[in-house]
Amino acid sequence: MPDKLVAALREEFEIENVVGFDLGVNRMPRIVVTIPPAECHIYLHGAHVTHYRRRGQAPLLFLSEKSYFQSDKPIRGGVPICWPWFGPSKADPSYPMHGFARLSQWSVNSVRPLPGDEIELILTLGPNELSAKYWPNHFKLDYTITVGESLDLRLTTTNIGDNPFSYEEALHTYFAISDIRQVQLMGLGGSQFNSKVPPVGVHTQNPDPLLFSAETDSVYADTKAQCTIVDQGEDRSVLISKEGSDSTVVWNPWTEKAKAMADFSDEEWLKMLCIETANVWHNAITLTPGQSHALRQHIQSDRLAAL
* Binding positions for ligand BG6, rule: CB under 6 A: 74, 87, 97-98, 172, 196, 217, 249, 251, 276
Considering the complex, state which of residue 38 and residue 250 has its C-beta at the smaller distance from ligand BG6.
250
| Residues 152, 280 contacting (CB under 8 angstroms) | no
Nearest to 122 by CA among 294, 284, 301, 299: 294
User: At its nearest, how many Å lie between ligand BG6 and the CB of residue 67?
Assistant: 10
User: At its nearest, how many Å lie between ligand BG6 and the CB of residue 32?
Assistant: 24
Catalytic, 276? Answer: yes
User: At its nearest, how many Å lie between ligand BG6 and the CB of residue 261?
Assistant: 7
Catalytic, 172? Answer: yes
| Residues 119, 147 contacting (CB under 8 angstroms) | yes
Considering the complex, state which of residue 150 and residue 223 has its C-beta at the smaller distance from ligand BG6.
223
Considering the complex, state which of residue 73 and residue 296 has its C-beta at the smaller distance from ligand BG6.
73
Nearest to 191 by CA among 170, 208, 169, 213: 208
User: At its nearest, how many Å lie between ligand BG6 and the CB of residue 172?
Assistant: 6
Distance (Å, whole) CA 18 – CA 35: 6
Displacement of CA 35 from its chain's centroid (Å): 21
Q: Look up residue 56 and give its DSSP letter.
A: T
168, 169, 172, 234: the catalytic one is: 172
Nearest to 62 by CA among 170, 174, 167, 138: 174
Considering the complex, state which of residue 111 and residue 249 has its C-beta at the smaller distance from ligand BG6.
249
| Residues 221, 250 contacting (CB under 8 angstroms) | no
Q: Which residues are designated catalytic? A: 172, 276
